[in-house]
Amino acid sequence: MANGANTEESVTVSQVIDRIPVGRFHRRLLAICGSAWAFDGMEVIIISFTLPVLIGAWELSGFAAGLLGSASLMGMIAGNWLWGWYADEYGRVDAFQWTVLSYSVFAGLTALATGFYSGFALRFLTGVGLGGALAVDTSYLSEHLPTDRRGRYLVYLDAFWPLGNVFAVVLAWVFLSALPTGGTIALPVVGAVESWRLLFASASFPALLVFVIRSQLRETPYYLARSGDVEGANERIEAIAEENGEEFTPITAKSVETGTSAGYSRLFEPDLRKRTAMIAAAWFAVNFGYYGVFIWLPDTVGAAGVVESVTLGGATVDGLYVYFLLIGLVQFPGYFSAAYLVEKIGRKPTLGSYLALSGVSTFLFASAMPGVSLFGAGFSGFWPFFAGLLAASFFTLGAWGAIYAYTPELFPTEVRATGNGFAGGVGKIGAVLGPILAGALVEVGYLAALAPLAVAFVLGGIVVFAFGRETMGEPLF
């Protein structure tokens, strides 16, 4: 083979990454990225527990309460769009650490809020960091995974979300139920402090994760190669292979297509615009339905009349917290089933079917609410409501796992985080509208409030089946 430089085999980043089996490096990376994900889930859901307290403390109207509950979701729209672009332009790791620090700091500062306007502003700024972290986290992890395990590991990433929900439940129970005396907690020197303030202050501890990100994470090989740093990409791949005990194969310069972020216009070029529209619609559906149901879930469960105090270890615990723990626990098998199916039958059928089943389950538990006799008196009470609610939680969180596995594979490296951020931002528009619509319709009845959420889930599934393309087994490009 003469002229070796001209006949050099072209070795791409995806080929080299695929030659490194999942091992110690990938498990460590999943733990770090998953921790950030869990803290995201904690920060988002914590307002569900404090909102009833703030309504009384700040004398909020129903509309103002809905806006405050959705403030972080509004911020997540801006965060998804801004930080997704930033990660493609300036790097994943830099964006990752700043987003985690941002949402942690502003979550803690919410403890200093004095009323609706300051509370709304601080929750909005918390959301900017949360939205950015979600867009960057998936892009970063996906660019380190071999093709045959990428979908499963991205679902595993999203499975950390209910851990965050559990953290939120535990913190809310400690600060709002177990410790307070008359809504306050006595602290040495400081004196009596409103318990909800200490709850938000405690929610700032994820800032410590920034030290882990700075010390443990490096830029992705895909981003380095795309930026023209082939040597840096090879050093990164070599470090991954060495940690997993595998041989290192370098990429070749001739295989690399260099360039900076192509920006948002790239998402709407002929080869991408159909998939951009499809996945954005799916994101809207899952956000509209999920947040419409879960932001108001404490109120819904209370209205169902099935909450009773529970005695655990001799202590009496508000049944609402037990409900949320059970709802969080059933989400894990939802994720694990989706993790299996995205690699067995594909991303498209898994996401489409889980969205549709989320809608059916939501409609069923709404039909079991008091005063609703859609299926007769026999379909009401504790068990129909509880079973439908658990099924909705199972399928909705499975759909979340599937959509996070699917989305990064639809976009090329130069706009992967931008595409993630755009779709997620469109989704968060749905996340804002869902709770507001549900809150407005609840005066008509709980079936009227929940039925549009169920329909949105089903329509999202139909869009995925009709316009989605399968990406299982395809390398990142």
pLDDT of residue 440: 79
* 462, 291, 35, 320 alpha-carbon torsion, rounded to 10°: -130
Is it the case that residue 374 has pLDDT exceeding 90? no
Helical segments of 203-254, H only? 209-216, 221-226, 230-243
Judge contact between 457 and 355, C-beta under 8 A: yes
pLDDT tens digit string along 190-208?
567 889 999 999 999 999 9
Judge contact between 352 and 364, C-beta under 8 A: no
Where is average pLDDT lowest: 377-391, 431-445, 447-461? 377-391
Q: What percent of the chain lies above the pLDDT cut of 70? A: 87
**Per-residue three-class SS string for 134-160:** HHHHHHHHHCCCCHHHHHHHHHHHHCC
Is it the case that residue 272 has pLDDT exceeding 50? yes
pLDDT tens digit string along 142-152?
999 999 999 99
CA distance 234 to 72: 39
Q: Report the range out of 168-172, 252-256, 375-379 with the highest average pLDDT.
A: 168-172
Q: Which 3 state secondary structure label does DSSP give 185?
A: strand
pLDDT band, residue 1 (cuts 50/70/90)? very low
pLDDT tens digit string along 114-127?
999 999 999 999 99
Of residues 431 and 101, more confidence is placed in 101
pLDDT of residue 311: 46
DSSP of 275-335 = HHHHHHHHHHHHHHHHHHHHTTHHHHHHHHT----EEETTEEE-HHHHHHHHHHHHHHHHH
The second-level CATH assignment, the architecture, of 12-251+264-467 is Up-down Bundle (1.20)
What residue spans define the domains of the chain? 12-251+264-467
Q: How many CB atoms lie within 10 A of CB 359?
A: 27
Q: Given phi > 0 = left and psi -120 to 50 = alpha, else beta, which region is 205?
A: alpha
Is it the case that residue 246 has pLDDT exceeding 80? yes
Mean pLDDT on 381-386: 73
pLDDT of residue 204: 94
pTM of the model: 0.83
Mean pLDDT on 240-255: 84
Mean pLDDT on 396-409: 94
Q: Which residues contact 187 (CB under 8 A, 6 or more apart)?
A: 193
- Taking CA atoms, 323 is separated from 39, 300, 452, in Å, by 21, 12, 24
pLDDT of residue 120: 96
pLDDT tens digit string along 72-86?
989 999 999 999 999
pLDDT tens digit string along 255-268?
666 655 568 899 99
pLDDT tens digit string along 17-64?
999 999 999 999 999 999 999 999 999 889 888 888 898 899 998 778
Q: What's the mean per-residue pLDDT of the chain?
A: 86
Instruction: Find, among 287, 264, 286, the residue nearest to 276 by Cα.
Output: 264
Give the distance, in angstroms, between the CA of residue 443 and the centroid of all CA atoms in the same chain: 30
Mean pLDDT on 211-238: 93
Farthest-apart Cα atoms in the chain, separation? 85
CA distance 277 to 468: 10
Query: Is the alpha carbon torsion for 236, 242, 245, 246 positive or negative?
Result: positive
pLDDT tens digit string along 210-222?
999 999 999 999 9
- Tally of CA atoms within 13 A in the half-sphere of 339 that contains its CB: 17
pLDDT of residue 5: 42
> Helices 446-467 and 347-367, interaxial angle, to 10°?
170
Where is average pLDDT lowest: 216-225, 276-285, 295-304, 403-412? 295-304
pLDDT of residue 310: 45
Of residues 423 and 159, more confidence is placed in 423
Where is average pLDDT lowest: 67-81, 172-186, 262-276? 172-186
- Taking CA atoms, 372 is separated from 4, 377, 448, in Å, by 76, 8, 10
